[in-house]
Amino acid sequence: MLTTTDTVSPTGPLDSAVLRRAAAPLTVTVDDEARARIDRGRSFFRALRHGDGGEERRIYGADTGFGALVGYAGRGDEADQCDNTLAHLGAGQGPDLPHEIVRGALLLRTRSLAQGFSGVSAEVVERLAAMFATTFSPAVPRYGSVGASGDLIPLAYATQALRGRGHAYVDGRRMPAAEALAATGLRPLALDGRDALALVNGTSVTTAALALARDAVRAAHRALTDLTCLLADLLGCDPGFLDEDLLRAYGHAGAVDVGARMRHTLSGVTPSGTRPLQEPYSIRCAPQLLGAAEDALRYADGVVTADLGGVSDNPLFFPGDAGAGKVVHGGNFFGQPAAFAADLLASVTAQLGNLAERQLDLLVDPARNGGLPPMLATAPGLQHGLQGVQLATTAFVAEIRRAAAPAGMQSLPTNLHNQDVVPFGTQAALRSYDMAELLGLLCGSLALGLRQAVHVGARRPTASRCGELLDALVAAIPPVEPDRPLDADVRAATRLLVTGDRP
């Protein structure tokens, strides 16, 4: 089994924490058990390919054309068949993907190939593993994948870079791939047609983007749950809307669990007694909204776990015993589960973003914020407080909503109707990755507002855990007096909430 130092057991799948760390140099090893399994699959492929001990079998990509041209013979020379696989896929466009997605995708590809079902050589897997000890990162364009036969075009760019073709990054600097390999002490990959096809015929880019997006949305969900508690405490709200019996009667596990977390965070809170009988929905219905998001995130968790542990390739080789093996041509490269999960993640992101923006809107409005000054300005008119930040959050929400249209149901036939249904999981996952960044900034914006609210007259939190969160924000962000650009402060709050250590 592929293993990574101090992170994954020799028999377990990758997890998203390892995937995130793959953006930086990481030690990846292939143990003897995995090497033996890879060799067994390779020998079985060779036996089928060359007819050792029986009739030669047709194997897609080894001796055929690709996609809709499968009915035509491929190139006879094995190294030439590698070029035949990759050259026509150099059709991507757009900006390069983030390094953490590209290197995460290659780590997933390495793990998938290491299962021994792809018929690749052990040297290919070992050379891929060696790449992770360096800062080498292929330059991969964003646009071009439909996520049906895997992420063909983006993975072809990554594979070509590992062969010394195209471009790559070393220490964040873009350069010709051959120079990048030389600078990191890596040798260009030498591949045959089966190796090349196995490297591109999987959903690794989609899975990496989805896993990273899921992690970011989960972190924002946790942050927004805690910020909602801090908001309720600063305003002096009665915590009755979190009543355990109330939420159990609601019948949804996510709401029950989120409510329990919020009650824990608000333990010791003292209501002000001046609030309305019923709070606005952005407070009163927060456990139901955040709970529904938790339920949806658990579905995404299941898809991510399955994709991180699965094998996405075609065909797959099952050596069997005593000559009873088989090669199976199928569709394990079809990214529909990730597409559905990413579309659901986008919907969750949109509603969480809306909640954060509405809570900030409540906080800056003197008609609803318990008498604090408008825009939380220390001297309204002379100072403008959070006015610019609120404008930006409105723009963030609009951008998230615009991007939230489902991708997984927008199938378009392509490839002479060989790919007559496609999932568009790559687009769905990359879109969710982008949206998650905006959601983090919305949480940071709300946090900045809560920090400023105390500066302009809101009470100190009465719940100790809310007080600890406020103190962390106060330590990281100065009060807004006088006005200043707040873009860096929003990012600082986002880092504190979503990526940093905090209560």
First to last CA, the chain: 37
Distance between alpha carbon 190 and the CA centroid of its chain, in Å?
Answer: 31
Burial status of residue 126 (CB atoms within 10 A of its CB: 0-12, 13-18, 19 or more) = middle
Q: Quick check: is 250 catalytic?
A: no
Q: Report CA Rg, the chain.
A: 26
User: How large is the average pLDDT for residues 422-432?
Assistant: 91
pLDDT tens-digit map of 440-494:
999 999 999 999 999 999 999 999 999 999 999 999 999 999 999 999 999 999 9
So what's the pLDDT on residue 73? 82
Give the pair of three-digit tokens for residue 381. Answer: 């008119």
10 Å Cβ neighbour count for 328? 11
- What is d(CA 50, CA 29) in angstroms, rounded to the nearest whole number? 31
Q: Are strands 137-138 and 141-143 parallel, antiparallel or unpaired?
A: unpaired
Distance between alpha carbon 302 and the CA centroid of its chain, in Å?
Answer: 14
pLDDT band at 6 (very low <50, low <70, confident <90, very high): very low
Judged against a pLDDT cut of 60, whether residue 9 lies above it is answered with: no
Q: Which pTM does this prediction carry?
A: 0.94
Instruction: Please name each of the domains of the chain with its CATH number.
Output: 2-202 (1.10.275.10), 210-310+333-499 (1.20.200.10)
| Amino acid symbol at 449 | G
pLDDT band at 340 (very low <50, low <70, confident <90, very high): very high
> Locate tokens 């010709």: which residue?
176
Judged against a pLDDT cut of 70, whether residue 54 lies above it is answered with: no
The catalytic position among 60, 157, 169, 433 is 60
pLDDT band at 72 (very low <50, low <70, confident <90, very high): confident
Contact call for residues 7 and 24 (beta carbons, < 8 A):
no
So what's the pLDDT on residue 122? 94
- What is d(CA 475, CA 102) in angstroms, rounded to the nearest whole number? 35
Give the pair of three-digit tokens for residue 101. Answer: 């997605």
